[in-house]
Structure 1
């Protein structure tokens, strides 16, 4: 389905010259019509009326009957049209494994990450307060619900929001830093430090290393603020008013 210029025709012919004359049908819905491996009959990948044909003049594969190309307004650039086909707007060009990221994309990753992390961690601040108290004062509470009730009764409902400032600032920084850093390191390692073939074969390892490096950067800002949060929760008489 790729245009001739993008087809690895010579390599395909070396692998299997029989594909030039191969035909097939995907009509019906019986299991027998679908082979275990589509390489045995690649025409099963096409809608019923289409077949593959080798063009000796263009030295490439074509689909019959001919597919009418048309332009539609789908493109990354505003106002620029893209060539579409029966099989969708992406079928006229090779697929890319990764898209390049500009500074505005990194900024959007940081903004969305910061807002997401801040929102989720702010919602669980009361639970975090009880958890911290249970860790710093073991045996004082009989579970999470007893801890929440005791803290509210003895210190007021506002005590369940101790450390809010540090939580918001800390996880705002965490989200702003970790998501863009992960995207950057993942692409930098794959494109600059490793060969493309090695990076593809070890994509999971690249992602793990990129995530670890991004977490280190995020933790450099989060750790001091977590220390402030824990002090504010564990020793409110000293740190509550300090902010």
Structure 2
């Protein structure tokens, strides 16, 4: 399989479904060897089989990135197996919504663990390898893409802690971008709007129904729409850095 990412290696977290799965397949279609990371081995193995059937290279990594040791070991296993790391897509996420007064603290903690700590753990482990790839790869550039949300720029009632995590991701992305841009490591953020994924499937019953009512008249984005944005970012020539892409459903106001 040939493409703009030929001879590169990409790691996608939260790859067992939705945006992560679509992104892994999109990067593989561009020629990258893809490491797919998540907690559900069966889903990851199925994804890897699809990538291989299409002529690509895939490596399955089962890990919980909210555990720092597992996150670091996962990154190191990718480099050991595939030889390098040129692209990291921090996609794993957890969304809990509802009035702050009635929200269980466990839900808040889970959002902090996955959306913030997990992203930090994988980023910290990957940075040396990404910087190395930017120096010695034929493309002479590497990419770190964080998947945020419209909730990283628009605060709304019922999403306070989710907003906290996604605003934080946006701020972290921009500060890190400025730190490493002279070394040709591009750091970008993609902010999806309403996407047809499993992200809302775990919401409490009453809240899930309210969300479904809220978006029932919107034609939802597909995971492939966000994967397209990620692929666009990482396939640009090294002289081009796409710092941020906001992708809303065409009928979405927030």
* Smaller-chain TM-score bracket: under 0.3
Task: Give the TM-score normalised by the residue count of structure 2.
Answer: 0.23
Task: Give the TM-score normalised by the residue count of structure 1.
Answer: 0.24
Higher helix share: 1
Which gives a bigger RCO, structure 1 or 2 (Cα 8 Å, sep 6+)?
Answer: 2
Larger radius of gyration: 1
